[in-house]
Amino acid sequence: MRSNGFLCATCGIQYPPSETPPAHCAVCEDERQFVPVEGQRWTTPGELAAGHCNAFRHMSEGLMALSTVPRFAIGQRAFLLRTAHGNLLWDCLSLLDEATLEIVEGLGGIDAIVLSHPHYFATMAAWGEAFDCPIYVHAADRDWVAVESQHIIFWEGDQFTPLAGLDVYRVGGHFPGACVLHWPEHGTLLTGDTLLVTPDRMASFMWSYPNNIPLGAREVEHIGACLRRLQIERAYSAFAGREILLEAGRVIEESVQRHCRAITQS
């Protein structure tokens, strides 16, 4: 392991190196996360690596999902996109072990890391350092960065292109800087927590997923307006199995309408 700061065992975010665990985890004390009833727990990259590994799953041409098994903290997936213009890592995992380093190097390394929002910051500074690549975080979420790094680049505005052929859109809602990644060539949308694919294969839009606090109609309509302009066939949310693999653009549009109907009924 190349990083040695304590990890929050509940959300997976890493803090700067210290002798003793931090007193608090700001991410978990926020209403969009939670502190376990038995109190906050901490672990280290070494402990994590001793009991876990990362699994790699082919999702579609050029798109691979990475997840830590057994599940750790929030349990999100990260995605490795392999394109003609380079490789991009969307979101991040806390575990960066030697096997992951070797496998990802074998797949061509990483040219850019883009974070959808602070819940998946994980050990992003260590990944950026290991693969010597930029880490893009929206400037609106800069206060949530726990470990500073010269690799982190704060981007501003509502759209940017980290690699040719990949577009990142800041849509807000869940976090002020929350963003999605669109891969037009493949009709693919990676959503982070901007939306969660529901068991009926539609989408919900929550300000806090663990505490079931929905986003308001105005924010969801804004997200809908941002996504309506994109050609989206498949949408992958942060969790395994939570994806829409057919006509995702239409399904998301219907989901926006369903959500707004539900929360404006009196």
Give the span between the Cα atoms of 124 and 135, in whole angstroms. 7
Residue from 3, 10, 87, 194 binding Zn ion (CB under 5 A): 10
Q: Which is nearer to Zn ion, 119 or 138 (CB)?
A: 119
Q: How many CB atoms sit inside 10 A of residue 257's CB?
A: 13
Q: Which of residues 18-77 bind Zn ion (CB under 5 A)?
A: 25, 27-28
CB-facing half-sphere around the CA of 172: CA atoms within 13 A: 14
DSSP structural state of residue 143: G
Residue from 7, 8, 130, 152 binding Zn ion (CB under 5 A): 8
# binding residues, Zn ion (CB under 5 A): 8
Per CB under 5 A, does 11 bind Zn ion?
A: yes
Give the Cα-Cα-Cα angle 121, 123, 125 (nearest 5 degrees).
90
Provide Rg for the chain, Cα atoms: 18
- Least Å distance between CB 79 and Zn ion? 15
Per CB under 5 A, does 242 bind Zn ion?
A: no
Tell me which residue has tokens 């002798």.
19
Q: Which is nearer to Zn ion, 77 or 119 (CB)?
A: 119
- Least Å distance between CB 255 and Zn ion? 18
- Least Å distance between CB 205 and Zn ion? 12
Give the span between the Cα atoms of 67 and 92, in whole angstroms. 9
Q: Which amino acid is at 147?
A: V
* Region at 193 (left for phi over 0; alpha for psi -120 to 50; beta for the rest): alpha
Looking only at the bridges linking them, the beta strands covering 112-114 and 86-90 are parallel
Per CB under 5 A, does 119 bind Zn ion?
A: yes
Binding piece for Zn ion, criterion CB under 5 A, among 3-11, 134-142, 225-233, 243-251: 3-11
- Least Å distance between CB 210 and Zn ion? 9
Q: Which of residues 174-233 bind Zn ion (CB under 5 A)?
A: 193
Q: Which is nearer to Zn ion, 127 or 205 (CB)?
A: 205
Provide the binding-site residues for Zn ion, judged by CB under 5 A.
Answer: 8, 10-11, 25, 27-28, 119, 193
